[in-house]
Amino acid sequence: MLENILIIKKDVKNITLKVKPSGEVILTIPKTISDDHIEFVLEKRAKWIEQKKEFFASFQINEKEYVSGEDFKYLGKSYRLKVIESKKESVKLQKGYLEIYVKNREDLKQKQNLVYEWYYEKALLHFFNILKEFNKIVKQEIKDVKIRQMKTRWGSCNPHKSYINLNIELIKKPKICIEYVIFHELVHLIYPNHSKQFYDYLSVYMSDWEKRKEILERM
């Protein structure tokens, strides 16, 4: 039996199974369902449950101390952090290092802000270039794009308002994964749900989208 499962027996007709971002599994079942059938359902959906847990776990951000030697990701590659005391504060990527130039090496908050701003600037550049390129395919109006921290999604789309939201954490992933997420959200401007038409369209213009998705989830 899987761990961390909440089983709720209610006056309902159907069985529903959910995995929360915390990793908690909630199984809601009719009162008449036997324990043997509960175990059967959980065993049958065990692989799906683990995939969901892994997906949500991929959004957990490990707390960093922002000290020299720590590992930071950018476009799918790893870079060692190098903290350098300097009168002029900035962040640079060079020779395999992510260098933070900061007035006070012990100022954690300032180091966090500097790195976040650097990631944000890079995300602006790369995300908008990719949006521009792939919108040549979908040819839809985009009224607003927001780049922000998102807890359980790489991106989202509001087709009615033509808004797209992108997770800043994407900038740490390989370019092919960023392209997949952005194209996925752009296609939602045409097909608002995950219908067969949506996936058919996705497959026509990005035939390897499943491979890209797999790489994104694995990393």
The domain spans of the chain are: 5-57, 121-218
SS3 state at 174: coil
Cα angle 5, 52, 212 (rounded to 5 degrees) comes to: 170
> What mean pLDDT value characterizes the chain?
91
Given a cut of 90, whether residue 116 has pLDDT beyond it is yes
Give residue-wise pLDDT tens across range 19-64. Answer: 887 778 889 999 888 888 888 888 888 888 888 887 777 666 667 8
CA 6 to chain centre: 26
Rounded distance, CA 69 to CA 183, Å? 35
Given a cut of 60, whether residue 1 has pLDDT beyond it is no
HEC-encoded secondary structure of 124-145 = HHHHHHHHHHHHHHHCCCCCEE
Rounded distance, CA 211 to CA 218, Å? 10
Rounded distance, CA 115 to CA 66, Å? 9
HEC-encoded secondary structure of 7-28 = EEEECCCCCEEEECCCCCEEEE
**pLDDT interval class at 119 (50, 70, 90):** very high
DSSP 8-state symbol, 119 = H
DSSP 8-state symbol, 88 = S
Rounded distance, CA 92 to CA 115, Å? 10
Q: Look at residue 186 in the predicted model and tell me its pLDDT.
A: 97
Q: Look at residue 127 in the predicted model and tell me its pLDDT.
A: 97
Give residue-wise pLDDT tens across range 55-112. Answer: 777 666 667 899 999 999 999 999 999 999 999 999 999 989 999 999 999 999 999 9
- The dihedrals phi and psi of 115, each to the nearest 5 degrees, come to -70, -40
* Span 180-200, average pLDDT: 96
- The dihedrals phi and psi of 73, each to the nearest 5 degrees, come to -100, 145
The CATH H-level superfamily of 121-218 is: Metalloproteases ("zincins"), catalytic domain (3.30.2010.10)
Rounded distance, CA 88 to CA 103, Å? 7
Q: Look at residue 5 in the predicted model and tell me its pLDDT.
A: 85
Rounded distance, CA 213 to CA 181, Å? 8
